[in-house]
Amino acid sequence: MAKQKKQQEEELYAQAAGAIGTLAIAAGVLAAIKDKLGLSWPATLALTAGALVALGYGVWKARTALLRLWGGGKQPSTAVKQEASLAAADGLLEAVPEIPAYTELTEALRTAGAIDKAEVIRADEVTIAPVLTGQRYDFLLPKTRTVQDVQKRLDNVAGYFGVSRLHLALERSRDNERRVQLLKLDAPPFSAAFPAPARREIETFAGVPLGHDVTGQLAGVPTFDKASMLIAGMSQMGKTTLINGLITCLLLAYGEFDLYLLDGKICGLITFEKNCVRYEASDDPAVFENMVDELSARGKGRYQRKQEVKRNRQPDPKFKPVFFIVDEVANFFADDGTTKGKEKAQRIEEKARKLVAMALESGISTIFMTQRPDRDAIPVKVRSQFVYRLCLYVDSTGSAKVALGDSYFETVAPINPTQLNPDIKGQGVLFAGGTSTLIRGFNFSDEFMWEVVDETAARQHQVLEASPETPLKTAIRLMQERELEFIRSAELAPLLGIEESDEGKAGTKLAALLKGVPKSRNSAARGYRLDDLVAAAKSGL
Ligand SMILES: Nc1ncnc2c1ncn2[C@@H]1O[C@H](COP(=O)(O)OP(=O)(O)OP(=O)(O)O)[C@@H](O)[C@H]1O
């Protein structure tokens, strides 16, 4: 350390001596110039400084020329930058070439606050495709932005264009967070009606179509396998029309399935009675409970079958899809205020919850509809089970949340059903797989639906005819031949070859032959209804 300090002191003395020496020489040179030219001291100083600067410039110029000559015009990048910035400072040349901006989108997004004032949407990154009802922009945002920045400001973007939020639809690209697909309609959605789709369109749709989207394309869900749906909307908004359209599409394109309909409005779903394993028109909660029990039993049977094949290391069984569709379901969860009524409502709620939950694995899909999407109308335990949601016009955000889920408005590009035009019937927000789509349900003519219903009924009949002879099938044929709606057990047993004089024992043997078909009772005796036998045969219990 001491050695280092000593060395520093010596360097300081040497530098001081050098400086004194330089000053003495400079003073001597200046004095010589002054003497030679006969100038005053200030003039001598100014002249010497000017001569030195001119000399320095001359040396720099000569060095630059020499470097250019030797380097074949190549310049180090720092030199390019220095020159460019010097030139730019002098206003001699543009430092960076201008990026051509797509003015309309740049202005719209800047004004909406989705991009910064200094940012642009590059024209070479925009494509525009016309659609039937407007145009679809596909573009990339600046590197500092993502599609969420546009999504959050979609109202303002609509404001910039001078249209409503519903004129715009934002789609998210799965390949790039900066890619925006923005649909802009020329007129409010569904201002003009789209014609009902042809059979071929429905049959070739990848999934189950539920309606048209705002561009006139079919829109729906990919499948109802492991899925259930809640449809809500205020009175007269088009739920029944929409579900009639959905059932028609199912009949046309979903292959074989069993249909259970509970028509809480008494005649909204009657068109499809012929195709049902069980059809009821009632607003009585006991009927709902009974259907739920029947389907739960079927679901449990399927679970047991699944267990069995797993235990025996066999492949998973394929179950025929079952649809349980209930119109105006809120009726069935209401109680009359009494303790007994409340207990009954709770029991029904629990059974319905289990059915919807179990349905996902047992191939039983429930579709519930309601015109009362209030907090209490459909218990939260039940409604939280639905995978797909569809909300037609409602008059409050609270109702929209009941229908679409409490966190719906935090999802990607939500559409508020309160903003729909209630005069355009049948339009609704379909929320499926995390995506919202504005659709309008099909409004098929009665003739078209009757045609589909009759065709399906004829096909179902043929399937039944072609199935192997069973006691159930024989019982149906015998009753149809005799034109009986109801048959006593004592009468049916001998027809099916049961020779037993004891009525009780004969009844037990008969029940064993007709596995699972519910018994009925008329005013006189116990027996079986033709409808129940047919339903059992159709569902292949
Ligand atoms: N997609 C549609 N296109 C044209 N008209 C429609 C459409 N959907 C429904 N409508 C018409 O709107 C009216 C109400 O329809 P619908 O009966 O289906 O409504 P809803 O919601 O089931 O009513 P409510 O709950 O009061 O029974 C009907 O006159 C129907 O023809």
**Ligand 1 centroid from CA 238, angstroms:** 3
Task: Please say if the pLDDT value at position 295 is more than 70.
Answer: yes
Q: What is the DSSP string of 232-281?
A: E--TTSSHHHHHHHHHHHHHHHS-S-EEEEEETTSSSSGGGGGGEEEEE-
Res. 312: pLDDT tops 50: yes
Give the position, in ligand 1's atom list, of the atom nearest the Cα of 427.
1
Lowest mean pLDDT among 19-33, 59-73, 241-255, 283-297: 59-73
Residue entry with tokens 């001078």: 162
Question: What residues are paired with 426 via a beta bridge?
Answer: none
Q: In a mutational test of the pocket of ligand 1, which residue from 236, 267, 393 has the highest number of ligand atoms less than 8 Å from its CB?
A: 236
- Cα separation of 44 and 51, whole Å? 11
Within a 13 Å sphere around the CA of 514, how many CA atoms are in the beta-carbon half?
30
Binding-site annotation: residue ranges: 233-240
Q: Given this model, what pLDDT does residue 80 score?
A: 34
Tokens representing 520 are: 């009925």
Q: Quote the ligand 1 centre to 262 CA distance (angstroms).
A: 18
Residue 225's Cβ-count burial label (10 Å; 0-12, 13-18, 19+) is: exposed
CB 358 within 8 A of CB 292: no
Sheet holding 520-521, edge to edge: 486-488, 526-529, 520-521
125-134, 283-292, 369-378, 442-451: least confidently modelled range: 369-378
Q: Which residue among 241, 399, 439 is best mutated to probe the pocket of ligand 1, counting the most ligand atoms within 8 A of its Cβ?
A: 241
Alpha carbon distance 164, 362 (integer Å): 43
Query: Which stretch of 206-215, 356-365, 429-438 has the lowest confidence by average pLDDT?
Result: 356-365
User: Judging by DSSP bridges, how do beta strands 322-327 and 276-280 pair with one another?
Assistant: unpaired
Nearest atom within ligand 1 for CA of residue 244: 18
Q: What is the tens place of the pLDDT at every residue in 198-234?
A: 999 999 999 999 999 999 999 999 999 989 999 999 9
| Residue with the two structure tokens 């939280």 | 384
pLDDT at 186 (0 to 100) = 95
Give the rounded percent of residues in the chain with a pLDDT score beyond 90: 54
Minimal CA–CA distance to 347: which of 300, 339, 387? 339
pLDDT, tens digit (0-9, with 9 covering 90-100), for 9-49: 555 555 655 556 566 666 666 676 677 767 777 777 766 67
Structure tokens at 106: 């740049």
Average pLDDT, the chain: 85
Q: According to the model, what pLDDT value does residue 60 have?
A: 63
CA-closest residue to ligand 1 atom 14 = 236
Task: Please give the Cα distance from 101 to 124 (Å, whole number).
Answer: 8
Atom of ligand 1 nearest to the CA of 371: 25
Pocket-forming residues, ligand 1, beta carbon under 6 Å: 233, 235-241, 265, 371, 425-426, 440-441, 443
Cα-to-centroid distance, 213 and ligand 1 (Å): 18
Rg (CA), the chain: 42
**Which one, of 458, 452, 532, lies nearest residue 492 by Cα?**
532
Please state the atom number of ligand 1 nearest to the C-alpha of residue 328: 25
pLDDT tens-digit readout, 172-202: 788 899 999 999 999 999 999 999 999 999 9
User: Which ranges constitute the DSSP H helices of 38-146?
Assistant: 41-70, 77-89, 103-112
| Mean pLDDT (whole number) for 108-117 | 96
CA dist 464 and 470 (Å) reads 11
Exposed, middle or buried, 65 (CB in 10 Å: 0-12/13-18/19+)? exposed
Rounded-to-integer distance, Cα 166 and Cα 187, Å: 10
Exposed, middle or buried: residue 34 (CB in 10 Å: 0-12, 13-18, 19+)? middle
How many CA atoms does the CB half-sphere of 49 hold within 13 Å?
A: 6
Instruction: Please choose from 271, 425, 448 the residue to mutate so as to test ligand 1's pocket, defined by most ligand atoms within 8 A of CB.
Output: 425
Q: How far is the CA of 436 from the centre of ligand 1 (A)?
A: 22
Instruction: Measure 240 CA to ligand 1 centroid, in angstroms.
Output: 6
Whole-number pLDDT of residue 12: 54
* Tokens of residue 251, six digits: 């009949």
Nearest-angstrom CA–CA distance, 210 and 320: 22
For ligand 1, atom 23, name the residue with the nearest CA: 236
pLDDT value at 341 more than 80: yes
Q: Give the annotated binding-site residues for ATP.
A: 233-240
Task: Reply yes or no on whether the pLDDT at 275 is more than 90.
Answer: yes
Residue nearest to atom 9 of ligand 1 (CA): 238
User: Residue 317 and residue 234: Cα distance in Å, rounded?
Assistant: 41
Percent of the chain at pLDDT > 70 equals 83
Tallying the residues shown for the chain, one arrives at 541
Give mean pLDDT, residues 515-524: 80
Q: What is the ipTM of this complex?
A: 0.98
Q: Compare 47 and 353 and report the one with higher pLDDT.
A: 353
pLDDT of residue 262: 96
Output the CA 134–ligand 1 centroid distance in Å: 27
Distance 370 CA to ligand 1 centre (A): 13
Question: pLDDT tens digits for 498-511?
Answer: 888 888 888 899 99
Report helix, strand or coil for 508. helix
- Model confidence band, residue 374 (pLDDT cutoffs 50, 70, 90): confident
426 Cα–ligand 1 center, Å: 6
Ligand 1 atom closest to the CA of 442, numbered from 1: 1
Q: What is the pLDDT of residue 286?
A: 92
With beta carbons less than 8 A apart as the criterion, state whether 218 and 209 touch.
Answer: yes
Query: Which ligand 1 atom is the nearest neighbour of the CA of 441?
Result: 1
Considering the segment(s) 467-539 as one domain, its CATH architecture is Orthogonal Bundle (1.10)
Superfamily of domain 199-448: P-loop containing nucleotide triphosphate hydrolases (3.40.50.300)
Q: Which ligand 1 atom lies nearest to the CA of residue 233?
A: 21
73 SS3 class: coil
How far is Cα of residue 442 from the mean position of the Cα atoms in its chain? 20
Instruction: For residue 424, report the distance from its CA to the centre of ligand 1, in Å.
Output: 10
Domain boundaries along the sequence of the chain: 20-89, 103-185, 199-448, 467-539
